[in-house]
Amino acid sequence: MTRETVRIAASADIHVKKTSAGAFQPLFSDASENADVLLLCGDLTDYGTVDEAKVLAKEITTSLRIPAIGVLGNHDYESGQEKEIISILTDAGLVILDGDSHEVYGVGFAGVKGFGGGFGRRALGAWGEKIIKDFVHETINESLKLESALARLRTPQKIAVLHYAPIQATVNPEPPEIMPFMGSSRLEEPLDRYRCTAVFHGHAHRGSPEGRTKAGTPVYNVAMPVLAAGSPEKPAFRIIEVPVGEALMAV
């Protein structure tokens, strides 16, 4: 069956706990009814434990009936069990991207976790102590992974899935003291170079729902607290509709 459009639902920072059994079935059921693909943009678990991943896996297999793509967030690394989490969620049908690309219904998806470092002229530079250089190099590596994933896509529409923010606009008005830990402008460069259709991220719980890169690519902060603050009466996901091979339409 040829599709003219693909409806993409996205959410982030769901922070599944051991006690969350049944809590996310409405979210996944609503996404299944209203979208063709679901994106989960990191912080899928609260403390990054295997037990939490098993709860989420059960929610997915019970309630989600559409393809799902995700990236891990910083919370998913908290307990050092990220490899086990990826295995559990992959077995449940969630495609986890980490410098990888994936295609669904003719739309291409590229995903990385991303990292911090700050934005624009205030971005941290790789100078001084080794620990600072390591911090910056981690962000550079994530940017290179994103670039590589985008370069492999041959689809007209390219969607980037991140956890950390690539622009400051969707992080504001978070406190300025934590801006360097919210994301990095280094993630923005490959998005514009490969002319992404849209970008989704989470992490900034008190950020803004929407912004644009320098080249005008729409960036959506889909952290659940941001979505809930903007539309508390609606399900906690953002939907865009992508006409395959054409321009983006927001819903």
Give CA–CA dist 183/231, Å, rounded.
24
Query: Which residue segment(s) compose the domain that 196 sits in?
Result: 5-250
Find the CATH number of the domain harbouring 61.
3.60.21.10
The answer to whether residues 222 and 214 touch, using CB atoms and an 8 Å cutoff, is no
Give CA–CA dist 83/91, Å, rounded.
12
pLDDT at 245: 59
pLDDT at 163: 98
Give CA–CA dist 52/48, Å, rounded.
7
* Strand order from edge to edge, sheet including 249-250: 94-96, 68-71, 37-41, 5-11, 238-243, 249-250
Q: What is the pLDDT of residues 10-65, one digit of tens each?
A: 999 999 999 999 999 999 999 999 999 999 999 999 999 999 999 999 999 999 99
Domain count, the chain: 1
Query: Buried b vs exposed e over 181-211: b needs ≥16 C-beta within 10 Å?
Result: bbbbbbbbbbbeebebbbbbbbbbbbbbbbb
pLDDT at 230: 83
Average pLDDT of span 168-194: 97
Q: Which residues pair with 176 in a beta bridge?
A: none
Query: In which residue are the tokens 């934005």 written?
Result: 119
Q: What is the pLDDT of residues 182-235, one digit of tens each?
A: 999 999 999 999 999 999 999 999 999 999 999 999 999 999 999 999 877 777
